[in-house]
Amino acid sequence: MTFYANDDVLIYKIFTTTLQGEAQDWFHSLPPRSIQNLSKLSLVFTKEYSSYRSIKKKSNHLFSMKKNQKESLCTYVKRFKAEKAKIVGCDDNIACSTFQKGLLADHLFFGELIVGENLSLENSYALAEKHSLWDEEKLSQKSP
């Protein structure tokens, strides 16, 4: 390979064999003779796929989090924690507020959170866990 290191055609052919899936489809969709050399290929490829890097999320992303009506409280908490974990340096006050606002107003737990003054996010999680266990107990008592 070192012997052919300056052979653009060989490197070009080897590069194309490493592509798979969507990247391979993209390569085959390029117009014929649109790539004149390896540096052009490198530029076009980088331009196409550099936009696929992960986008850093900010704390305000959590405002879109809502508990679905049929979703258990436990599942909502897990989903919320997973989204919060994706945010570097997430402000706990914003997270706590959005966690509360994401709950359905008719849920008993929502009332407890609103009444609880200055609850931290961790305390809200703990209260949610306690409530989830209580909900599960109620469901298990109803089923035969």
In CATH terms, the fold of domain 59-142 is: 1.10.1200
Give residue-wise pLDDT tens across range 43-68. 888 877 776 555 567 788 888 888 88
Which pTM value belongs to this model?
Answer: 0.52
Q: What is the pLDDT of residue 5?
A: 56
Give residue-wise pLDDT tens across range 93-131. 888 888 888 877 766 676 666 666 667 778 778 877 777
- The boundaries of every CATH 1.10.1200 domain in the chain are 59-142
User: What are the backbone dihedrals phi and psi of residue 130, each rounded to the nearest 5 degrees, phi first?
Assistant: -60, -45
The DSSP code sequence of 4-29 is: GTT-HHHHHHHHHHH--HHHHHHHHT
